[in-house]
Structure 1
Amino acid sequence: MHSNTIYLWEHDNVPDPHELLRLITFFVEHGVLSSYADASDLWAEARREPFPEPPELRALFEPRWQLPSDALPDHTSLPPGLRLPMRRNPLFMGREPLLLRIAQALNAQDATVAITGIAGIGKTQLATEFAHRYGALFPAGVFWLSFADPNSVLAGVAACYAHPSAALLPLAQRAERVFQSWHEPEPRLLIFDNCEDEHLLARWRPSHGGSRILLTSRRTRWNAALVTAQVPLPTFERAVSVGLLHAHLHAAGVDEVSTPAVDTIAQLLGDLPLALHLAGSYLAYRAPFFTPEQYLAELHAQSALDHPSLEGMSPSPTKHPQHLSNVLALALAQLDPAQPVDAQAAALLARAAHFAPGEPLLLELLLASAGLSDSAAQPALKRLIGDLGLMEATSSNTVRVHRLIAEFIRNTPHEPQVVADVERASLDLAQRFSDGGEAAPAGLLTHLRAVASAAQPRHDLRAIQLANALGWLLYLSRDFAASIEWLTWSHTTLRAAAQPDAAMLCETLELLGLVHQMYNEQTEQAEAYYSEALAICEQTYSPEHPKSGDLANNLGYFIAFHRNDYDRAYRLLRQAVAVRRREHGLAQGNTARSLRNLGFALFKLGRYRAAMRYLRLALRCFECAEGSYAIARAQTLMHMADVALVCNDPRAEAYVSAMFDLRKAARNEGDGELGESYWYVGRVALAQGDTAGAAQAFAEAEKIYERRIWPDHYVLARMRGDQARLALQQGDPAAAAAYIEKAQYHWEQLSPDHVDRAESYLIASRVALAQGDHVTARNHMLRAVAMREAVLGAEHPATRAAHVEMAASIREA
């Protein structure tokens, strides 16, 4: 080192013994100084006033002290003179990897490691276990101090002074001597339990020397200059929770235990270590005449926090309070309602507690319930998450409140507005997904279900709105059975009312119709719900009312697709188009849907040119409307392909290609609409004589439908017919016969008299002809013609085409 370096360093008024030692330590760590002799020379050269060379200088070149962090040391007897009031807990489990993590973090010079987490998470227990595992490895000992009461810290530090003259010295002087000893180079472990105050930590944290600090705190937001590493504690994994309860029972001599019951107990207690310790101690105390099943029944019969088991009957291994409600009350008492930020934090916490307990909660949903913007809520969120540990940030856009904290808050008196705000925000966000026709994220469904369940006992209009919103989102998520359950509850509740709300009843009936239509294609129930909804709406309002138009649209499309009554469908859809066009104009999604549905009804009536005009108009309206309407456009293109295929229009391929692209971009690989798209690709290829392309497309469709929980009988029935046609073109009538048999099965499940089944009979007739069975072929042909005449009429193009085919087959016979 050049002498000018030292001169410049001194010129900046830095030199004092501590700063000089820091500078030399820096040079040693970076390889500038490699021997004690060089360091000693620098010390002598640099000082300009007489201060002695510190022992830490030589220690810099001695073998470095380190804690083992690759494997846990065995428990050993701790040397005398340690200040460690807690005995080790023989039932400690589940945190072993964190002990190694703490050891590694404490190996750093001047390390201060914070164990953080909510009340009852096991912070002190982990620190105790670490002290008993590693305490013997600290040459200068272990010193445990409680920082829970800032006014008692000075006395706690002074109590560490073990000199015979201690009683002769004032308290402050004893504390100062202890504090100075913490600056010595020998490694020692200082445990600051329940340290929540940065200023208090800064006051008692040694600025140098060999001391390492391990603190426990609910606080997760620390100045990096004070805390070098954090070890956040999660709740126990379920297997550890179950293991701990089993261990308590085993210690009481009970080994035959129902694991499902113990698992459910752990779930109800949110896998919180303190709650599990209390529950385990209670079960052990009452064993063997009290079983986990009996305990579980008692927990279900009341709030878990009111059960005597959580009041702390047994001694505390950490000497902390064990009455769980009191522990939680103490944590919540840190919020001062007189402070604006704390008042806002309390408002957020109260609302968070009324969503699904213990589940990640969308921050957007929480803030909406409190009427706060993200920026306005930041101070309160930092207080809850960073300072008090009452809330956990589970991702960049979700937070979580432990289920027992949430239960405690719900059991505490709160303003009625809290529940109203939670319900309003839930409905608003659900409506946003409903309007877009998007499946809601699983997190929203979880919380909406919890909010709706909590509202059910009221049986009021808001409870029904929540149930309907949940039912619709479950429908969009393809959980049809659960959707029907919630909507049926709404329907039953409305019917039980003296004067049911007509608008809500219509909405509920409409949703029930839609879900029954999709769920195993329960068409009779669906038509009954749709028809009842339309009748109530027209009677309560008028046929020209916008809601009447909506219901007419849905019922008309349903009848056109499922019930063979195309004239009635046409009338209903004309009504829907008129109402929606007058109400919304053409460039609007609902108007476009009615135009599309009317085009489909005209297609089924055999009016192909008119059908294509309406379908093209619908597509144009979707394109002009605000929003993407990708799925709605895809369905319109599918119906345009239907018309083009029956008319031998080569544009069918372009329509199907556009439909396929839209659905592939918007749907998951296993979605039924994508399977339907592959089927249409196969239909076009078959019409073009591309048997290889058709076979490949049908195979892709089959893969999707094989993975689906419930079958789409209509699509599968028609696709099996097309596969039979393909097999005939490939010269394999046996395979064609097998496909037709499968098609007939699906028609029986869907609707035995559906007019589209006539196509299967026509194909079955061709199969029979290929096998030389002319009698069977004729019978199938007669059934196809009879079905089309009965439903479509003798002049329908499809009926005439069936007559032509029958005449050709007779001539061939």
Structure 2
Amino acid sequence: MAGFVGDPQLGGTRTMIGHAENVRIETLKAQETQLQELPQLPARDVLPVPGQPPAGSRIIYSRNQAFVGREEDLNWLAERLLYAQESQSVGISPAVAATGLGGIGKTQLAVEFCYRYGRYFEGVHWVSGIGGDLIVEIVECGRTMGLLPWPEKIEDQLARTLFEWSHSQRRLVVLDNLEDPAMLRQWLAKLTACRVLVTSRRPAWPADLGLQECKLGLLSPVECLALLRDLAPRLDAVSEDRLTPVAERLGGLALAVDLAGRYLNDRENLTSEEYLGELNEAENLLVHTSLLDWVTNDNPTRHETSLAATFSLSWKQLEGGEADKIAARKIFELAGWCAPNTVIPGELLSGAAGVAEIDFDRGMKWLYELGLLERTKEGPVIHPLLAEFSRSMSPVGEKRNSVLGVLADTLSKQVNETHDSGFTKAFRTLISHLEQICPVVDDIGLAIAGSLWNSLGLSLSGIVRFEAAKTCFERALAIDEAAYGPNHSVVARDVNDLGRVLRELGDLAGAKQCFKRALAIAMEAYGTDHPNVAWIVYNLAEVLREQGDLAGAKQCFKRALAIAMEAYGTGQPDIAWIVNNLAELLREQGDLTGAKECYEQALAIIKGVYGQDHP
């Protein structure tokens, strides 16, 4: 006559259930009738129009009338929560997770799914994971269902609700904002008869949970414009090419676009260009009022209406003195100064973080699980708005300068190492980070700024971006002249590199002037027979040759060759390069005998270095 209702682990107590068997029979009869009355499933891949879920459902949010896009995601959820399950055995119920960084629209997607597909379930029950008290949430679902008899004690109310759900055939439970695998594991064991939709920032879950994951992407440019225009109808009159830069600046993050649309709707006289100007002029994008505090208590899902507050929910999880959390904070700070939407080499982050390998790996695990970094096959990536958030959380003054100095030095060394191995994809990735960091290092006046601009100039020259390289070398020269004076060896380096790019751009007169100045400085700094002098003389020879001064070019080639051979001997491939170009010049002068001798000498050097069969 007496038995347990519910699971003791969930707080169930021994309760007299008396006519429980009769209740179960009546419940099963009601379910059979309800299943017969459920609407036929819509055609696959065709989104049904929004509608109301069955009576007794609990969805704590209204539908967002401005919801746009996500058709593929909605179809993905429907396939797994509805269609694929109709042919499976009773008791094999799916659990799927919609994942993504904060503000990407996970809860909004779940709400939209409930209003479009909810009527095809026996019931839809929303359980919020914020605060972690799922018992109260599930009890509220049972109360909304109007279950009778309804116990007085909360543990019995929980048991009554779970008992009802345990006899379901097609029931949806949404576990919104649930981040803890242990908690999910506990509750999935109690929801085996339900179909479960989880929303979470956590991008990966333990395999034993059997979760199928739907990773939400950013809104497309078309979807961004549609959302902006839904929220601010006056933007219908604004052309796509004028509005797109705003969407791009917001990084396709749903919450950011939503807040911007509401701001533009309220500020009726503000043009899209003026708003973009405001965003660009803000010291940090996240402190602009549109993304910080303009919208208050006006979110369809009652989530944070501040991007900074949204990201802070994840950041706060890294508080504490544990080594892995300290490492995670360091890594995130470093990532914030790198180029967003670009793979950040793990060697760059680990080299600059200066933490133990195990702590680095655990720190990266934290950042991936909290959605602060995105894991890709090539490496970690940071969203532009999360990069802004990282910089806003970064310390100021000397501590910030120290972090940037270490990052810049590590990056410069890796660029130089990668440069030697060729212009690979990894090399181009490092260039993107150099382009991001150089202006920052320059603005705060770090000593490494000149060398960093020079390194970027060399890198851009390597991928034939000569105009951009020229700008970099000019900036490096200005910084180093101010720091070291006009006749320092570092200045000679900058002037020589500027001359090389001017030559590539066809400014032979400017290049010749640079090489002559660099040569004078280098001879004063190193002496007349230093290898650095040889290469400047070689560069001057090339310009003279292109200007038609073959005699002057020949003299320079021979001088460069003599210095280089004295310094390196004849076993260096660079020597062969000088000898080969001297041969070309002799051929142009008609000295075929001399040219032949030089070609043979160059060939002998190459064979000696690389072997007979090298390409």
TM-score (norm 2): 0.85
2:484 pairs with 1:509: no
Q: Which residue of 1 aligns with 2:238?
A: 257
Q: Which residue of 1 aligns with 2:439?
A: 453
1:76 pairs, out of 51, 55, 66, with 51
* SS of residue in 1 equivalent to 2:209: coil
> How far apart are residue 307 of structure 1 and its match?
1.0
Counterparts of 1:480 and 1:620, CA distance in 2: 34
2:380 pairs with 1:399: yes
Q: Which residue of 2 aligns with 1:316?
A: 299
Structure showing greater radius of gyration is: 1
**Is this contact kept in 2: 1:588–1:624, CA < 8 A?**
no
**In structure 2, what residue type is equivalent to 1:182?**
W
1:138 pairs, out of 112, 117, 121, with 121
Q: Which residue of 1 aligns with 2:459?
A: 473
> How far apart are residue 349 of structure 1 and its match?
1.5
Counterparts of 1:228 and 1:498, CA distance in 2: 61
Q: Which residue of 1 aligns with 2:8?
A: none
> How far apart are residue 134 of structure 1 and its match?
0.7
Q: Which residue of 2 aligns with 1:281?
A: 262
Distance 1:532 1:435, change over 3 A: farther
**In structure 2, what residue type is equivalent to 1:142?**
V
> How far apart are residue 358 of structure 1 and its match?
3.0
**Equivalences for 1:509-528 in 2 at 5 Å?**
509-519=495-505, 521-528=506-513
> How far apart are residue 540 of structure 1 and its match?
2.1
* SS of residue in 1 equivalent to 2:97: strand
> How far apart are residue 94 of structure 1 and its match?
1.4
Q: Which residue of 2 aligns with 1:296?
A: 276
> How far apart are residue 211 of structure 1 and its match?
0.8
> How far apart are residue 221 of structure 1 and its match?
1.6
Post-superposition CA distance 1:487-522 (Å, at most 9, x none): 222233334456247222112211122112122x22
1:269 pairs, out of 250, 258, 265, with 250
> How far apart are residue 301 of structure 1 and its match?
1.5
> How far apart are residue 214 of structure 1 and its match?
0.4
2:529 pairs with 1:544: yes
Counterparts of 1:421 and 1:77, CA distance in 2: 57
> How far apart are residue 238 of structure 1 and its match?
1.3
2:316 pairs with 1:330: no
**Equivalences for 1:370-449 in 2 at 5 Å?**
370-371=353-354, 377-385=360-368, 387-394=369-376, 396-414=377-395, 415-416=399-400, 417-436=402-421, 438=423, 441-449=427-435
Q: Which residue of 1 aligns with 2:138?
A: 157
2:337 pairs with 1:354: yes
Please tell me the root mean square deviation across aligned C-alpha atoms, in Å. 2.9
Counterparts of 2:354 and 2:607, CA distance in 1: 35
Post-superposition CA distance 1:230-271 (Å, at most 9, x none): 100111111211221122111xx5532253342122122111
**Equivalences for 1:653-802 in 2 at 5 Å?**
none
Report which stretch shifted further, 434-443 or 522-531.
434-443
**In structure 1, what residue type is equivalent to 2:247?**
A
* SS of residue in 1 equivalent to 2:172: strand
Counterparts of 1:374 and 1:180, CA distance in 2: 49
Q: Which residue of 2 aligns with 1:736?
A: none
**In structure 2, what residue type is equivalent to 1:409?**
S
> How far apart are residue 88 of structure 1 and its match?
0.5
TM-score (norm 1): 0.65
Counterparts of 2:592 and 2:350, CA distance in 1: 53
**In structure 1, what residue type is equivalent to 2:65?**
P
**In structure 2, what residue type is equivalent to 1:297?**
G
**In structure 1, what residue type is equivalent to 2:535?**
D
Q: Which residue of 2 aligns with 1:169?
A: 152
**Is this contact kept in 2: 1:603–1:611, CA < 8 A?**
yes
**Is this contact kept in 2: 1:183–1:206, CA < 8 A?**
no
Post-superposition CA distance 1:197-248 (Å, at most 9, x none): 0111112114565310001000012123324311001111112112211221
> How far apart are residue 359 of structure 1 and its match?
2.8
Counterparts of 2:124 and 2:228, CA distance in 1: 31
Distance 1:106 1:500, change over 3 A: farther
**In structure 1, what residue type is equivalent to 2:531?**
P
2:225 pairs, out of 239, 242, 251, with 242
Counterparts of 1:530 and 1:446, CA distance in 2: 29
Counterparts of 1:219 and 1:589, CA distance in 2: 53
Q: Which residue of 1 aligns with 2:598?
A: 614
* SS of residue in 1 equivalent to 2:197: strand
Q: Which residue of 2 aligns with 1:89?
A: 64
**In structure 2, what residue type is equivalent to 1:369?**
A
Counterparts of 2:595 and 2:205, CA distance in 1: 69
Count how many residue pairs are aligned between Structure 1 and Structure 2.
Answer: 568
**Is this contact kept in 2: 1:68–1:104, CA < 8 A?**
no
Q: Which residue of 2 aligns with 1:530?
A: 515
Distance 1:439 1:578, change over 3 A: farther
Sequence identity of aligned pairs in percent?
28
* SS of residue in 1 equivalent to 2:318: coil
Counterparts of 2:328 and 2:342, CA distance in 1: 19
Q: Which residue of 2 aligns with 1:201?
A: 184
Post-superposition CA distance 1:459-483 (Å, at most 9, x none): 5541121211111121111111211
Bigger RCO (CA 8 Å, 6+ sep): 2
Q: Which residue of 1 aligns with 2:469?
A: 483
> How far apart are residue 343 of structure 1 and its match?
2.1
Counterparts of 1:282 and 1:614, CA distance in 2: 72
> How far apart are residue 167 of structure 1 and its match?
6.9
**Is this contact kept in 2: 1:258–1:292, CA < 8 A?**
no
2:582 pairs, out of 595, 598, 605, with 598
Distance 1:368 1:212, change over 3 A: same
**Structure 1 gap segments, 5+ residues each:** 1-50, 631-661, 663-813
**Is this contact kept in 1: 2:101–2:371, CA < 8 A?**
yes
Report which stretch shifted further, 167-176 or 299-308.
167-176
> How far apart are residue 425 of structure 1 and its match?
2.5
